[in-house]
Amino acid sequence: MTTNLGVKGLRSLPISVQNQVYLPIWNTLTSRRPIGTNVFDLDWDLLIILDTCRVDELRRSARKRPWLGNVGEIRSVGSMSAEWMLNTFTQHQADKIGETAFVSGNIWSHRIFEEQFHEHTDHGYDMVHCGIPKWDPVSAETFAHYETVSAVANQNDPLHPKNDAIPHVLTDRTIAVAREHDFDRLIVHYTLPHLTFIADALDWSSGELTMMELMNGPEPVRDLRPAEVSYDPARQGKVKTETVRKHYRGNLQLALDYVEILLQNIDAEQTIISADHGEALGELGVWGHPFGYPFSPVKTVPWASTTATDEGTYDPCYDSLERMPTESEREEFLKAMGYL
């Protein structure tokens, strides 16, 4: 839909103009007729969402992970997590959602399906309210099974103290849900490979840890560097784009190590690895995944088909959510992810 010229034009607009002119038009139109493919219109039994996963980087990973097969692509209905969820889990898809289990490590799921944040304005993320949007997401009760996985509410065991990613707990809970129930469809939403980039700061190297070492959570070995926490050093020319890509690839490989464990402990003939949105890594000066941004590196996501077979190699041990994160904990999570 959007050409490079269009992206350059959008970037040239002051933020105030984008928020007062562009986003109101975008939200008003796309909340009614989303641009992209709704995943519920496609065939799958297990959908594995890797937050910010780029098509080119997953294809690169497939060279050493043949189970990824031929990585295809689709156009996402959102360019950041909240927009994707608002345009995916709609009342129009309620019947299919009612047959689907959703295990999410992304805090936006709580904000949308439980808080219904699109209906009020006291959450500090005003972009969703620009224009006259008609967001119509389902509530948490619509799902056949719904649970969020949080570093502070499930088990305070993030892989790194500067990032709330807990792929080991999320993988554990997804395996437990799949074995305890018989749902038509199951979605798991990993926060990796999303910034912040923790992989190189862990006692981890792809393919070298045992399954139990991964599921116990590799230990942090150092603090994060500025280019692992924010894209600002790259924007300012203090680090090379390839350095940032290396950090991103580390997070992706870490996520895929956990996906491999998942695939060995769930039965799902039609398994898809995809993303809620992609990630711009400096193309035309764009970094990250702005809301309402119809730019190919952000809106195009992978669609890789594989098969999951429960070989019983792992026994779940983590409890389900004991409490919901507090408002301050949720805000800290969103700040760490670069949203606030």
Bridging pattern class, strands 100-104 and 145-148: parallel
Question: What gap in Å lies between CA 339 and CA 310, rounded to an integer?
Answer: 36
| One-letter identity of residue 50 | L
Per-residue pLDDT at 133? 96
pTM for this entry = 0.91
Per-residue pLDDT at 100? 99
DSSP 19: I
> Are 98 and 144 spatial neighbours (Cβ–Cβ below 8 Å)?
yes
> Are 58 and 272 spatial neighbours (Cβ–Cβ below 8 Å)?
no
What's the count of helices (H) and strands (E) in the chain, helices before strands? 14, 9
Instruction: Say which residue the tokens 């005003």 belong to.
Output: 126
80 burial type by CB count under 10 A (0-12 exposed, 13-18 middle, 19+ buried): buried
Question: What gap in Å lies between CA 54 and CA 60, rounded to an integer?
Answer: 10
Per-residue pLDDT at 2? 45
Q: H or E element: which one contains 147?
A: strand 145-148
Question: What gap in Å lies between CA 78 and CA 86, rounded to an integer?
Answer: 8
Q: Residue 112 belongs to what domain range?
A: 4-336
Identify the CA nearest to 247 among candidates 260, 231, 261.
231
Identify the CA nearest to 189 among candidates 137, 229, 162, 149.
149
CA dihedral (91, 92, 95, 97) positive or negative: negative
Question: What gap in Å lies between CA 313 and CA 93, rounded to an integer?
Answer: 35
pLDDT tens, the chain, 340 aa long? 444 545 655 655 555 566 678 999 999 999 999 999 999 999 999 999 999 999 999 999 999 999 999 999 999 999 999 999 999 999 999 999 999 999 999 989 999 999 988 887 765 678 899 999 999 999 999 999 999 998 654 456 788 888 888 999 999 999 999 999 999 999 999 999 999 999 999 999 999 999 999 999 999 999 999 999 999 999 999 999 999 999 999 999 999 999 999 999 999 999 999 999 999 999 999 999 999 999 999 999 999 999 999 999 999 998 886 556 666 665 665 565 555 5
Tell me the β-bridge partners of 208. Answer: none
Q: Residue 181: which CATH number?
A: 3.40.720
22 burial type by CB count under 10 A (0-12 exposed, 13-18 middle, 19+ buried): middle
Retrieve residue 254's tokens.
Answer: 């870490």
Total of domains in the chain? 1
Residue 276 phi, psi (nearest 5): -75, -35
Per-residue pLDDT at 6? 57
Per-residue pLDDT at 5? 41
